[in-house]
């Protein structure tokens, strides 16, 4: 099939071309994000492949339908950037990669926790400069700490398992209960209990109208002073101005972010020679207890290989008229 692939980076092209040898699709790679101004670049493609910061809103879907697009193949798990109702209206089907490597994101979550706690990023720079002072580098034992996971799906569960290995008590809030998680020693609690009892809170739920700004002034007030918040889920799970205020008030002790609400204008690009105009983002960078990575939690070679494989399998199933096991639909 002819596939237009938006937001491509050299690493996408490498893995897509490698895996495509089994499938033989006709690939057209575009560097730009999909939005109202770029949808017109799709010509002669029934399939459009998207990533996290492509914007498939209703206007874009209308344009794509007019250009003959029949399938949106998301090469990610989250689908908050796609207007599913508009897709249904225009007869465009949507598939995603629900799981590629929960380990990649869970392990990055742990990297953020350990770095914030033990300050290895600061120690690395100090030692390079011959500064062996330990002032300001003191951490705490993870052993015995209570970690709350908001969302206990594939990534949350792997994160919980790893944290059990550190000797943490792991609490979870999720509307769906999973018996295997209980067997692993993870404890389901109410959201209020999780917020009140956790020393570290990590977000692993999808971004939905219900979870939008789930971390806000009110919920942060329910947390222990000095709490660590980690977000490898989606940026808009956190109300950024409220987070900045809570950091300034020294109520929140540490913040580790791999995602940011306004990341579409920043992440995945080298902006080191430019003026960044997002004041909230720049303010976050000034806190010594905030660590930000640019949406790299998924970025392992195992995950990229698996993403390409599942994306092409989804497209092959569509081409064959087979059951689309990874389809996402409005209202589900």
Residues forming the active site: 234, 263, 295
> Smallest distance from the beta carbon of 107 to ligand NAI, in angstroms?
11
Q: Which two tokens stand for residue 216?
A: 């806000």
Q: Residue 173's closest CA among 144, 148, 202, 197?
A: 148
- Beta bridge partners, 28, equal 4
**If DSSP codes are grouped into helix, strand and coil, which group holds residue 45?**
coil
Q: Which residues in 80-119 contact ligand NAI (CB under 6 A)?
A: 99, 102, 105
Smaller CB distance to ligand NAI: residue 42 or 181?
A: 181
Q: Which is nearer to ligand NAI, 25 or 33 (CB)?
A: 33
The reply on whether position 150 binds ligand NAI by CB under 6 A is yes
Q: Which pairing describes strands 146-150 and 227-231: parallel, antiparallel, or unpaired?
A: unpaired
E strands in the chain: 2-5, 26-29, 47-50, 71-74, 93-95, 146-150, 169-173, 187-188, 200-203, 227-231, 252-257, 290-292
Q: Which residues pair with 215 in a beta bridge?
A: 238
Residue nearest to ligand NAI (CB): 153
The answer to whether residues 41 and 4 touch, using CB atoms and an 8 Å cutoff, is yes
- Regarding 205 and contact with ligand NAI (CB under 6 A), the answer is yes
- Site membership for ligand NAI, residue 181 (CB under 6 A): no
User: Of the listed pieces 16-24, 58-66, 118-126, 200-208, which binds ligand NAI according to CB under 6 A?
Assistant: 200-208
Residue in 38, 117, 211, 310 binding ligand NAI, rule: CB under 6 A: 211
Residue 310 tokens read as 């599942």
Let me know the angle formed at the C-alpha of 204 by 198 and 205, rounded to the nearest 5 degrees: 110
**CA–CA distance, 231 with 150 (Å, rounded to integer):** 10
Applying CB under 6 A, which of residues 28, 33, 119, 154 lies at the interface with ligand NAI? 154
For 174-194, the DSSP string reads: -SS--HHHHHTT-EE--HHHH
Measured from the CB atom, the residue of 39 and 328 that comes closer to ligand NAI is: 328
Q: Check binding of 306 to ligand NAI (CB under 6 A).
A: no
Binding residues with ligand NAI: total (CB under 6 A): 30
Whether the CB-CB separation of 200 and 230 falls below 8 Å is answered with yes
Nearer to ligand NAI, 152 or 291 (CB): 152
Of 111-119, 126-134, 283-291, 294-302, the window that binds ligand NAI (rule: CB under 6 A) is 294-302
Q: How far is the CB of 5 from ligand NAI (least distance, A)?
A: 18
Q: Between 223 and 262, how does the x/- string for binding to ligand NAI read (CB under 6 A)?
A: ---------xxx-----------------------xx---
Phi/psi at 257 (nearest 5 deg)?
-125, 130
291 sits near ligand NAI (criterion: CB under 6 A): no
The residue ranges that bind ligand NAI (CB under 6 A) are 77-78, 99, 102, 105, 150-156, 173-176, 204-207, 210-211, 232-234, 258-259, 295, 297-298
């Amino acid at each position: 099939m002819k596939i237009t692939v938006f937001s491509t980076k050299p690493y996408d092209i490498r893995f897509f071309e490698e895996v495509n040898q089994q499938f033989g699709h006709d690939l057209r790679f575009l560097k730009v994000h999909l939005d109202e101004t770029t949808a017109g670049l799709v010509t002669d493609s029934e399939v459009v492949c998207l990533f996290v910061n492509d914007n498939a809103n209703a206007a874009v879907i209308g344009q794509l339908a007019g250009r003959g697009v029949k399938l949106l193949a998301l090469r990610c798990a989250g689908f908050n950037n796609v207007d599913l109702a508009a897709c249904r209206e225009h007869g465009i089907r949507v598939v995603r990669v629900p799981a590629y490597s929960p380990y990649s994101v869970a392990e990055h979550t742990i990297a953020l926790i350990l770095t914030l706690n033990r300050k290895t990023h600061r120690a690395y720079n100090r030692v390079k400069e011959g500064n062996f002072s330990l002032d300001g580098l003191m951490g705490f034992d993870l052993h015995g700490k209570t970690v709350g996971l908001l969302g206990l799906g594939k990534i949350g569960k792997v994160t919980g398992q790893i944290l059990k290995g550190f000797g943490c008590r792991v609490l979870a809030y999720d509307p769906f209960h999973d018996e295997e998680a209980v067997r692993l020693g993870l404890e389901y609690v109410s959201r209020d209990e999780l917020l009140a009892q956790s020393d570290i809170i990590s977000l692993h739920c999808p971004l939905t109208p219900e979870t939008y700004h789930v971390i806000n002034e009110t919920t942060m007030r329910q947390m222990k002073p000095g709490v660590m918040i980690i977000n490898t889920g989606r940026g808009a799970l956190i109300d950024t101005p409220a987070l900045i205020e809570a950091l300034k008030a020294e109520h929140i002790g540490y913040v580790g972010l791999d995602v940011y609400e306004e990341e579409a204008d920043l992440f995945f690009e080298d902006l080191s020679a430019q003026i960044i105009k997002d004041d909230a983002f720049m303010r976050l960078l000034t806190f010594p207890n905030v660590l930000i990575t640019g949406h790299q939690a998924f970025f392992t070679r195992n995950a990229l290989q698996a993403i390409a494989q599942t994306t092409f399998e989804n497209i092959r199933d569509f081409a064959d008229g087979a059951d689309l096991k990874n389809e996402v639909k409005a209202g589900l």
